[in-house]
A and B are shown apart, each in its own frame.
Chain A
């Protein structure tokens, strides 16, 4: 991804933040506003980041994946269900139940991706149709099971949703503890505290950031990455040097599915311990936009996901400052105004105004010898 596009992203984020700071500075110091917004941005961007990584792995290997939304939704459901099940039926304690739920979510994502792989790689079904199948299946399956297990007269949990074992805890990364002794001035100390507040995140959010850099490294600096990209660019060429195209594609689609599974876990295991039908609410598709905006690179996709996260963060902070918003800015409280940002951005991307994006050459093309 080129620097021009990173610049564009930085400008949008700065504009969004400045609006909130200029409104809220009468109530809170700017530094505090910025740090809390950054923290929200990172948290909200987590499922988008993971969803985009899911797409990057799948599409870099040559399989178009529009089923990320469905994979996230299914994983969110089964992760949550798994945690409840472990807690109530098997009697594990909270912590273990939650961790097992997380694992269930990741496995569910992998299995949904396996289905997509079978359809698109082995049976060469049109990949857009395959992805649509995943999305529809996800809505049907989670909606149906949700009703059957929790809300029916004779349902398994007897007509009410049992209390869930809870959510993952916030991790405290000891930035202050390590760096505070080095500080000599008050300003330095404040800065360190601010940074610390930004990175006091939950485990999935933290791992999403780590996974961005790990994925980037894998894709561009390792044997696995080279082969993955080769298979997505020119599978026949990969075949002629002895690379098993089918295996590489399967593996990457499934890895992608596991990323989507982790994104699903963000909703029900990390964020809020409950499930409602359609809870992913289009975030899988926004992830795809982030992936395209990021030109199919992990770091680029992350940057794009942060823009979408920042627009959400702005929305949330506007709620905090609603009593001090000047009347001429009142429209910013309307959720649909700020909520439009991701979609407007997506349209910008598609017009090519901020530079062209180039998908892998064999993206979406089944491999035939």
Chain B
């Protein structure tokens, strides 16, 4: 069996969604036992292409060949029968089922009419051993960490004897260590003859693991290259279609007074579990203070407590010398806070309000926007037009409702509203989540601008690269506690990754 045997080939695949040509005449092939990376911005059409191959959607035009033969794939049943397995971007697992139940679903082993859980568990253990994919068949999936859930997804494909495995943005939810573990698993799989399509928008990963790289942009394939003959800058170019700055340059920090002071703050979530324990730190003017950590380690509750969306159960929050513990968001905002919330659609915007109204959400009740309790449309309008221009918001008109903008432009509306005010502190929670390289570049630039102007910036992000690129100092949150605070210059990705995973080499 030659290594370059083509196991999957796609010819002229086209898929039109209402309003978007998601896949435009795509040609793509996959060699036996290779890791073929598919790189592209959000909305480039990567998932659509995979859904066509997997049979979740049907193509308008084009054909799919498996092992050289034209394949009629109309539903996942067909693709599974052809040995194709897919791990979806959003896991397709049933949280209340056990691992064994999830794995066998759709391909159940039955003895005398009832499910043969023992046989399935034995088969899972066999697969676990063979590919060193450790999973407990009897665990309830919802109680497992995401990294393990992903293994369950991979076991699911192997259980069905998949020879082609599609991984759609598998690293988006993983810690760096979990991602490394995944890469090891991927190599184990290819060593045993499995071919892998690996989707991502992270350049570094692609260069590290891929045998070949195909870049997609706006529904088309730009090119297919090999890692040895390319680099991050070129790949970014191909993804975005123009020159992009991957790391925003920044001058040395000129820190001045303490702006945000957090002392022994504890917070409970809606289930009344204490998700933030006794957290203390300070952020100074002119610096970016990053909080790293895997999602769900208390960052959401912490930022809600600091911005007034949730009352802390203990501790003290001081902004520019004023005690603002448990005060309302309006009081905190008026004290000089700009908040870029984690969930831009729920907490950042009123989606069915126009851009004009969204631009004035923080101070619509003041002059000039409001006179004697009556809104002044002219003032609102003028403000919005100015900000749209200044912050380069791409919208057909200021009166379009915010819900109709793309994710990147929605975020720009928030950035414009929050950063154009006279603020002392910026709290940005996951400011670039789900955005494309171009928008990320823009938002990073704006954050650094605020810092250089002397504003204190608290950046919360699960993207380690983002934290490292922007922060002057970094705190790591793990299980509701800050397990380390370090200067960015004095640490490494690996060290941060270990802290994020709860390995406390040293505590500060």
B114 touches A243 (CB 8 A): no
A238 touches B95 (CB 8 A): no
B93 touches A243 (CB 8 A): no
A361 at the interface (CB under 8 A from B): yes
B95 touches A243 (CB 8 A): no
- A230-B97, A233-B96, A237-B92 known; A243 and B113 CB under 8 Å? no
As a 0/1 sequence over residues 99 to 135 of chain B, the CB contacts with chain A under 8 angstroms (1 = contact) are 0010011111010011100000000000000000000
B401 at the interface (CB under 8 A from A): no
A222 at the interface (CB under 8 A from B): yes
A230 to B104: give the CA distance in the assembly, Å. Answer: 11
B56 at the interface (CB under 8 A from A): yes
As a 0/1 sequence over residues 36 to 72 of chain A, the CB contacts with chain B under 8 angstroms (1 = contact) are 0000000000000000000000000000000000000
A242 touches B77 (CB 8 A): yes
Q: Tell me which of A222, A223, A237, A240 has the highest count of chain B C-beta atoms within 10 A of its own C-beta.
A: A240
A226 touches B115 (CB 8 A): yes
Chain B interface size, under 10 / 10 to 19 / 20 to 34 / 35 or more: 20 to 34
A233 contact from B75, B94, B110, B114, Cβ within 8 A: B94
A236 touches B92 (CB 8 A): yes
B115 touches A237 (CB 8 A): no
Smallest Cβ distance from A241 to chain B, in angstroms?
3
Q: Return the chain B residue nearest A232 by Cβ.
A: B94
Return chain B residues, CB-CB under 8 Å to A202. none
**Chain B contact residues: helix, strand, loop or mixed:** loop
B75 touches A242 (CB 8 A): yes
Return chain A residues, CB-CB under 8 Å to B104. 226
A241 touches B101 (CB 8 A): no
A217 to B107: give the CA distance in the assembly, Å. Answer: 19
Q: Return the chain B residue nearest A223 by Cβ.
A: B108
B344 at the interface (CB under 8 A from A): no
Smallest Cβ distance from B469 to chain A, in angstroms?
35
Smallest Cβ distance from B81 to chain A, in angstroms?
9
- A240-B76, A242-B80, A243-B106 known; A223 and B115 CB under 8 Å? yes
B105 touches A226 (CB 8 A): yes
A238 touches B115 (CB 8 A): no
Return chain A residues, CB-CB under 8 Å to B56. 239-240, 369
A230 contact from B57, B105, B110, Cβ within 8 A: B105
As a 0/1 sequence over residues 229 to 265 of chain A, the CB contacts with chain B under 8 angstroms (1 = contact) are 1100110111111110000000000000000000000
Smallest Cβ distance from B317 to chain A, in angstroms?
32
B108 touches A226 (CB 8 A): yes
**Chain A contact residues: helix, strand, loop or mixed:** helix
B93 touches A241 (CB 8 A): no
A240 contact from B88, B97, B107, Cβ within 8 A: B88
B13 at the interface (CB under 8 A from A): no
- A221-B114, A227-B105, A369-B56 known; A237 and B75 CB under 8 Å? no
A66 to B387: give the CA distance in the assembly, Å. Answer: 50
A233 to B94: give the CA distance in the assembly, Å. Answer: 7
B86 at the interface (CB under 8 A from A): yes
- A226-B105, A230-B97, A230-B105 known; A240 and B92 CB under 8 Å? yes
B106 touches A234 (CB 8 A): no
A223 to B113: give the CA distance in the assembly, Å. Answer: 8
Return chain B residues, CB-CB under 8 Å to A242. 75-77, 80, 106-107
Return chain A residues, CB-CB under 8 Å to B107. 241-242
B94 touches A230 (CB 8 A): yes
A237 contact from B77, B80, B93, B113, Cβ within 8 A: B93
Return chain B residues, CB-CB under 8 Å to A233. 94-97
A234 contact from B92, B108, B115, Cβ within 8 A: B92
Return chain A residues, CB-CB under 8 Å to B106. 227, 238, 241-243
A240 to B105: give the CA distance in the assembly, Å. Answer: 10
- A239-B56, A241-B76, A242-B75 known; A221 and B92 CB under 8 Å? no
Smallest Cβ distance from B111 to chain A, in angstroms?
11
> Taking beta carbons and an 8 Å cutoff, which residues of B are in contact with A?
54, 56-57, 75-77, 80, 86, 88, 91-97, 101, 104-108, 110, 113-115, 156
* 4 additional contacts (CB under 8 A) given A238-B106, A242-B77: A223-B110, A239-B76, A241-B80, A241-B107
9 inter-chain pairs at a CB distance below 8 angstroms, sorted by A residue, are: A226-B108, A234-B95, A237-B105, A238-B106, A240-B54, A241-B106, A241-B107, A242-B107, A369-B56
